[in-house]
Each structure stands twice: as structure tokens, then as C-alpha cells.
Copies of this chain bind each other. A is one copy, B any other.
């Protein structure tokens, strides 16, 4: 079998551990020089392939690649760019083939969520439909934990650990303040369509009255009256109320709570923030003093408090992707298969890209308590192992050390530029 180069790219919202997957791909490829030549990383995902902007990872030292294990963000740049269908934009696919051909690329590894697995699937069709032989394997990644077939998604466990830890810590803070000051604390977390991240806040406490007292899921229609009643009950009975709210919390009619009508001085709709929207609701209806936080990028970039389980799984799906490709497999995505929850045991499985693409896994209804404001024991059992283990990065001068890559581009071989 001829030696071929590999293309690897990162796609969609990045995570604290997507670079651990990159590390898994590159280190494993380096162990197989008899089959894989160089690993070229797309500069800003698939855009790098279309523009022929290929980063030569062979120029990076072993130490720099190893440092990817503890570096958040996407080391080669990511993108939000979805390939159209072959019939809609044939030119894009032709361009990919030109670039792959020019750089002798025979392996394609695409690291991302649902949309990205769709892209990987489309590229895998190049082999079949346009006669260009390329081995395509998707590498799962998403903080939203919404990919099908896999028990969990690399990236999620670390966000879950961050949110559970932050909820625990902030709850101790507000509990101290509640007698004479703040009584309600609202933490807004990611998850536009699925409540997995919000659910993870629930791990901070379990007993009667322990925070968080309210979790708002996108899966449960937001009921203003029930929410306010529950807030008031908690303040009355526990002295304070901690709310973890998914950014995707929405009313029965599909309007996001975050969009519910606030306008700025110019009459423009104020963009965003389910936390401030809820805080204003509490203030107006109940008058309680509140604080709110919006974790936003902090939650998915927080490599300093990553889950060791998550880091390991992120690495392993990268490694498995290369091993699958070397074994001649095609159009697959490695998955995490749970063997048992406690003690946690798992192994790598596989799922066909054709079925992964564009499916969303929401929270099962039996993971949410009957009142819609909490997580069940089943949900806890599912989430618990995913946040376990610490994987602190090395520190230097008080700050996490991160990989410093050269990210040097390969010389272009094609004359034409490509506008995307």
C-alpha cells in the first residue's frame, strides 16, 4: 500500500479537549510512517482544504504535539462552514479533490459535531461518486453532547465538570450572602437545543434543598409562574435559590426566554442572556436581590478544570480514527461505548457517518424530574463518571502552559485561488 498524506481539521465550536483529539490523531499517525506520510492540518477547518491552506504538522516537535493534550481551543483554527450537497455545489468537491491530489492526501479526519460529521460523510462520497480514493473518518467532538450512537461526546465531560464545580462554588458564595444580601443566583450555561450541560450543574448537590434548586432545560417548556413559585419557595425555605439555566430555555411556543422582548435605547431587540432575563423576572415579580453569571466561552475553554475521563476519551477517539483508517475502514466515526457506570468502564466502538450526520440526541425524558426542574438518579448515574478525574495542565508564572505551534503552511501547488 502506497504511503499517503493525511488531512486533519477541526470544525465547529471548539472545546477544552479537541486538541487532545488532534494529539491522538497526530501521534498515532507518526507511529505509522509505513502508511501515513505527513499529517496536514486544515487552517480553520475545511476552509483550509478549500483554500489550500495546509499546516504542516510534521514541522512541530514531539513536545509541541504532546502539549496539545493540555491546550484548549482549536490549535489549527476551526470554522463554521458546511459543505453543500454534491449536486448543489459540485465545484467545492472538485476543488477538494484538486487540493487532495496536489498534496497526495489519502486520509481525511474531520473533528467536530453533527454538521462536521455530515461534512465528513460528504467527503467520503468523493471516493464513490467522483472516483477519488480517500479514506474518511469522523472524530466526534461537541460540548453539547448531542451526537447519536456515542454514549457521550468528547468535550462534554469537561464542560460538565466546569459547570458542576462552578455551581458548587458559587452556591457556597450565595449561601453566605443570603441572610442580608443576594438571595437568587442564576448561572447561564450553553446548550441551545439539548439540556446536557445544564443537567451537569445538578451534580453540585443532591440532598433536599441542596443547590442548584432549579435547572432549566430546553427540553422542558418554560413556565414563568411555576418558575417564580419555585424560586420563592426556595428563598422561603432554604434562604436562597440557585438556578442553572440553559441558554436554550424556551416557552411552549418556541420563543427563547433570552429573547423575550427586551429592547435597548434605540429600540433594537437586546440580544441574549437568559440569565439577565430571568433575573429581571425575579426582581419584578418577587423583588429578591440577585446575581447572575453567563459562563459562555469560559465553560468550553476551561482546560484547567478538564475531566481526566474526557481528556482520555478525546485522545482515544483521535487515535481510533487513525487506526480505523489504517485498517481500511471507511466513513465511520469512533464512538464511546459505556460498559458500566460504576466503576466506569468503556471502550471505543464505531458508527457509520451516513447515520450520524445531522441527528441530535436530546435528554431522555426520564433524566428530568417530574417538576421539570431537576435531574433524576438515572441522569446522575449517567453524568457522574464523565466528570471524574482531574487533569490539571502544567502551570508557568501562575498561568496554564499551552502549546506554541509554528503552524507553518505548506507551499501552495495550485495556481487558482478559491473563494469561499
Interface residues of A (CB under 8 A from B): 10, 13-14, 16, 44-45, 47, 71-75, 77-81, 161, 164-166, 168-177, 179-181, 185, 187, 203-204, 260-266, 268, 270-273, 275-276, 279-280, 283-284, 291-298, 300-305, 307, 384, 387-390, 392, 395, 397-400, 402
Instruction: Chain B residues near A261: list those with CB within 8 A.
Output: 264-265
B268 touching A280 by the CB < 8 A rule?
yes
* CB atoms of A398 and B270 under 8 A apart: no
Q: Contact check, B71 vs A172: say whether CB atoms are below 8 A apart.
A: yes
Q: Are B168 and A402 in contact (CB under 8 A)?
A: yes
- Taking the closest CB of chain B, its distance from the CB of A128, in whole angstroms, is 28
Q: Which residues of B contact A402 (CB under 8 A)?
A: 168, 172
Q: Is the CB of B388 within 8 A of A164?
A: no
Task: Give bound CA distance, A307 to B395, whole Å.
Answer: 11
* Further 19 A-B residue pairs, CB within 8 A, beyond A169-B304, A293-B295, A293-B297: A44-B179, A47-B180, A73-B172, A79-B180, A79-B181, A80-B177, A80-B180, A161-B399, A166-B302, A169-B302, A170-B296, A172-B402, A185-B297, A203-B398, A262-B264, A270-B280, A272-B276, A273-B276, A292-B294
Q: How far is the CB of A202 from chain B (nearest CB, A)?
A: 12
- Contact A74–B176 (Cβ < 8 Å): yes
9 contacts between A and B (CB under 8 A): A72-B172, A79-B180, A81-B180, A161-B399, A170-B297, A203-B398, A203-B399, A263-B264, A264-B270
B176/A77 in contact, CB under 8 A: yes
A273 to B262, CA, bound (A): 13
CB contacts (< 8 Å) of A176 on chain B: these are 10, 14, 73-75, 77-78
Which residues on the B side are within 8 Å of A78 (C-beta)? 176-177
CB contacts (< 8 Å) of A273 on chain B: these are 273, 276
Q: How far is the CB of A171 from chain B (nearest CB, A)?
A: 8
Nearest chain-B residue to A18 (Cβ)? B176
Known: A73-B173, A77-B179, A79-B180. A164 touches B398 (CB 8 A): yes
Complex Cα distance, B16 from A202, in Å, reads 21
Note all chain B residues with C-beta closer than 8 A to A275: 294
The answer to whether A169 and B73 have CB atoms under 8 Å apart is: yes
Contacts A177-B78, A262-B264, A265-B261; A161 near B398 (Cβ below 8 A): yes
The docked-state distance in angstroms from the alpha carbon of A260 to that of B81 is: 36
| Nearest residue, chain B, Cβ from A281 | B264
Q: What is the minimal beta-carbon distance from A152 to any residue of chain B, in angstroms?
A: 14
Specify the chain B residue showing the minimal Cβ separation from A264. B262
Docked complex Cα distance between A395 and B80 (Å)? 36
Give Cα distance in the complex from A304 to B276, angstroms: 26
> Looking at A44, A161, A398, which has the most chain B CB atoms within 10 Å of its CB?
A398
CB distance from A254 to the nearest CB of B (A): 18
For A395, the chain B residues whose CB sits under 8 A away are: 390
**Given A392-B390, A398-B161: A172 in contact with B301 (beta carbons within 8 A):** yes
Question: Which of A78, A187, A261 has the most B CB atoms < 10 Å from its CB?
Answer: A78
User: Are A279 and B271 interface neighbours, CB within 8 A?
Assistant: yes
Using Cβ atoms and an 8 Å threshold, which residues of chain B touch A74?
Answer: 173, 176-177
Task: Kindly report which residue of chain B lies nearest to residue A273, judged by CB atoms.
Answer: B276
Choose one: B14, B175, B276; the contact of A177 (CB below 8 Å). Answer: B14
Knowing A270-B262, A276-B276, A388-B398 are in contact, say whether A296-B301 is a contact too (CB < 8 A). no
| B388 with A397: CB separation less than 8 A | yes
**Chain B nearest Cβ from A205, distance in angstroms:** 10
CA separation between A260 and B14, bound complex, in Å? 33
Bound Cα distance from A272 to B282, whole angstroms = 14
Contact B298 A169 (CB under 8 A): yes
Q: How far is the CB of A325 from chain B (nearest CB, A)?
A: 24
